[in-house]
């Protein structure tokens, strides 16, 4: 599980709105009821009956005076709770058979000539009945490790890494099996803040298919996630949830109450309590489409630049003319800002240029260059708008393929 250091998450103030105090005394509605009751009890026993209702039976009148605040019968309340619990149980039973645990194993040097066995764990879920499994890239990125998949029915299989997503923390691995249960993918664009979600995975690498319940706390979160290898990765457009996500949950599904996978659990804030993140399912769908179209590979379009996403603070500190866009830059001679023979190089882009729009759609916070490019396919022609020495320029280029 990747950790987030120094992550600050703000939440708007939630001020309770006081309920209007109930008016004391009897209003017009009460007076009418009293008159009616007086007539009734006058027939059967005189006004003493009304007095009895007003003194000992105030709760009787109150039921009529508070028609706008009906009490929920206990039986109805209990039924709602049971129905809610039933939906959670049904969702878990629908998805759980498709959730797997992934264990990586490799030999590492020890003292003298000894070696030790190192194991790490993650999660995943089955996307095809012949053995394709979606997980996080950081779960299966060690080329020196071997990977074993443990299915919910107790079987285990050797797994091979089939494809790593070049821009997102997604990967697909393959096991040799048939007739496997497959998850149903939901539409992450339709998610609403506050709805229930479930996280399922191999918690702590010890507790297979652990289920936790929470709500969807936010959408469109951008974070810088760091792993145990000291490397960090920018992740954009994530779902945030307070469903408990622990080490070993990486790659497992985030699920709605319909039993549909709406995300891939990817990171947790180490300095906070119950702040976790997931890659939305609609990004998973584009990866699966690429797999189907490119012989099992996740292929993404690219233009071939390294860049810094501008913010007002970065622009002010570097005296840049705009506070949004992608500033083409690299301080590593081995990794040039503009990749040789790339679409960007052929279009004449240089280090120091600022790409501000793709097909007239501005590059800004939450809408980065990489995210905009991924709306298209390799081979598509796009128009980029960029600034050079303060002057606006346009250029057309054809997107290349990452593989």
Mapping DSSP to helix (H, G, I), strand (E, B) and coil, where does residue 65 land? helix
- Decide if 394 is inside a domain: yes
**Per-residue model confidence (pLDDT) at position 209:** 87
Q: Decide: residue 327, CB within 10 A, 0-12 exposed, 13-18 middle, 19+ buried.
A: buried
Domains of the chain: total: 4
Contact indicator for 166, 223 with CB cutoff of 8 Å: no
Residue indicated by tokens 């233009």 = 303
Give the residue among 36, 29, 17, 12 at the shortest CA–CA distance from 63: 29
Q: Say yes or no: 51 and 104 in one domain.
A: no
Q: Cα(95)–Cα(17) distance, rounded to whole angstroms?
A: 40
- Decide if 88 is inside a domain: no
- Decide if 13 is inside a domain: no
Tell me which of 98, 165, 169, 353 is the catalytic residue.
169
**Per-residue model confidence (pLDDT) at position 52:** 38
Q: Say yes or no: 327 and 367 in one domain.
A: yes
**Per-residue model confidence (pLDDT) at position 272:** 74
Mapping DSSP to helix (H, G, I), strand (E, B) and coil, where does residue 155 land? coil
Q: Which of 267, 293, 319 is the last residue of a domain?
A: 293
Tell me which of 101, 104, 121, 138 is the catalytic residue.
138
**Per-residue model confidence (pLDDT) at position 79:** 60
**Per-residue model confidence (pLDDT) at position 47:** 40
Q: Which of 293, 315, 336 is the last residue of a domain?
A: 293
- Decide if 289 is inside a domain: yes
pTM of the model: 0.73
pLDDT tens across 276-303, in order? Answer: 999 999 999 999 999 998 888 999 999 9
Name the residue range of residue 364's domain.
301-401
| Helix spans in 7-116 (H) | 28-44, 48-55, 58-65, 74-95
pLDDT tens across 32-58, in order? Answer: 554 454 544 444 444 444 343 344 444
**Is residue 153 annotated as part of the catalytic site, yes or no?**
no
Q: Which of 63, 82, 114 is the last residue of a domain?
A: 63
**Ranges of the chain with pLDDT below 50:** 4-26, 28, 30-31, 34-35, 37, 39-67
- Decide if 77 is inside a domain: no
Give the residue among 143, 120, 277 at the shortest CA–CA distance from 204: 120
Tell me which of 217, 250, 281, 368 is the catalytic residue.
250
Q: Find the CATH number of the domain harbouring 141.
A: 2.40.10.10
**Is residue 138 annotated as part of the catalytic site, yes or no?**
yes
* Helices 48-55 and 28-44: angle between axes, nearest 10 degrees: 130
- Decide if 380 is inside a domain: yes
């Amino acid at each position: 599980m990747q950790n987030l250091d120094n992550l600050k998450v703000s939440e708007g103030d939630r001020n309770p709105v006081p309920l209007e105090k109930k008016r004391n005394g009897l209003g017009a509605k009460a007076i009418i009821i009293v008159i009616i009751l007086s007539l009734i009890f006058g027939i059967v026993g005189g006004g003493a009956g009304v007095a009895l209702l007003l003194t000992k039976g105030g709760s009787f009148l109150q039921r009529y005076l508070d028609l706008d605040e009906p009490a929920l019968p206990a039986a109805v309340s209990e039924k709602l709770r049971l129905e809610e619990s039933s939906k959670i149980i049904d969702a878990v039973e629908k998805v759980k058979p498709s959730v797997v645990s992934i264990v990586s194993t490799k030999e590492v040097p020890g003292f003298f000539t000894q070696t030790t066995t190192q194991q790490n764990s993650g999660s995943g879920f089955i996307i095809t009945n012949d053995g394709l499994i979606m997980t996080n890239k950081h779960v299966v990125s060690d080329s020196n490790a071997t990977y074993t998949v443990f299915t919910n029915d107790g079987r285990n299989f050797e797994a091979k890494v089939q494809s790593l997503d070049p821009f997102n923390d997604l990967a697909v691995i393959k096991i040799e099996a048939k007739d496997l249960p497959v998850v149903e993918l939901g539409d992450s664009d339709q998610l609403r803040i506050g709805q229930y979600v479930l996280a399922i995975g191999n918690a702590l690498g010890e507790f297979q298919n652990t289920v936790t319940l929470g709500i969807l706390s936010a959408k469109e979160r951008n974070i810088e996630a760091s792993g145990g290898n000291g490397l960090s990765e920018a992740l954009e457009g994530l779902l945030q949830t307070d469903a408990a996500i622990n080490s070993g949950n990486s790659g497992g599904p985030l699920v709605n109450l319909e039993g549909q996978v709406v995300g891939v659990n990817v990171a947790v804030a180490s300095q906070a309590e119950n702040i976790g993140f997931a890659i939305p399912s609609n990004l998973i769908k584009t990866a699966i489409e690429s797999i189907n179209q490119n012989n099992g590979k996740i292929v993404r379009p690219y233009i071939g630049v390294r860049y810094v996403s501008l913010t007002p603070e970065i622009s002010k500190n570097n005296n840049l003319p705009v506070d949004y866009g992608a500033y083409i830059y690299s301080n590593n001679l081995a990794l040039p800002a503009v990749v040789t023979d790339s679409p960007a190089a052929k279009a004449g882009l240089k280090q120091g240029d600022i790409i501000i729009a793709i097909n007239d759609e501005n590059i800004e916070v939450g809408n980065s260059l990489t995210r905009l490019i991924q709306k298209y396919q390799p081979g598509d022609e796009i128009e980029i708008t960029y600034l050079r020495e303060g002057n606006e320029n346009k250029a057309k280029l054809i997107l290349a393929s990452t593989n």
